[in-house]
Amino acid sequence: MNKKIRIAGIIAALAVSAIILSSPSSAPPLPQPNVESKNESIQVLATNLKKPWAIAFAQDRIFVTEKEGAIRVIQSNALLDEPLTVLRAANVYGGGLLGITTHPDFENNHFLYAYYTYSENDALFNKVLRITESDNKLQRRSNHY
């Protein structure tokens, strides 16, 4: 290979490395959501959620997963202060608390099903849980695979 091309490639790689290393390590700040919408058909129900990922509906409630492990509840169009539960979800690319759904007979049995990634002995696994909820509080969790 031509020696000049090799040297040019090395210089280019060093330049790109310098640009990457000198760039800011944190992401730029995101603009605040416009909660004062002038469109009457749009209503903001919750703000300041941490990586919201999935939602499920039941009666007058909405269950929202946060990728890092919390299941939050929106009831009567307001986000409750305390989460329903917080799971030890793995904070990895493509993992975390990824899914939630209600049982078809949720009104009677209060079963929620959550799908998440967790870490054990430096290995990643996926799990489906059945959660029994009552009055926005965790009652029981069952492992399902």
80 or 142, higher pLDDT: 80
What is the Cα–Cα distance from 20 to 109, expressed in whole angstroms?
A: 53
Query: How confident is the model over 84-105, as a mean pLDDT?
Result: 89
User: In this predicted model, what pLDDT tens digit does every residue of 40-91 receive, in sequence order?
Assistant: 778 788 888 889 999 999 988 999 999 999 999 999 888 999 998 999 888 8
Burial (CB count <10 Å: 0-12, 13-18, 19+), residue 54: middle
pTM for this prediction: 0.69
The answer to whether the Cα torsion of 84, 89, 91, 94 is positive or negative is negative
Q: 3-state class of 44 per DSSP?
A: coil
Question: What amino acid is encoded at 40 in this protein?
Answer: E
Of 143, 75, 31, residue with least CA distance to 64: 75
Q: What is the DSSP string of 76-115?
A: TTEE-SS-SEE-----STT-SEEEEEE-TTHHHH-EEEEE
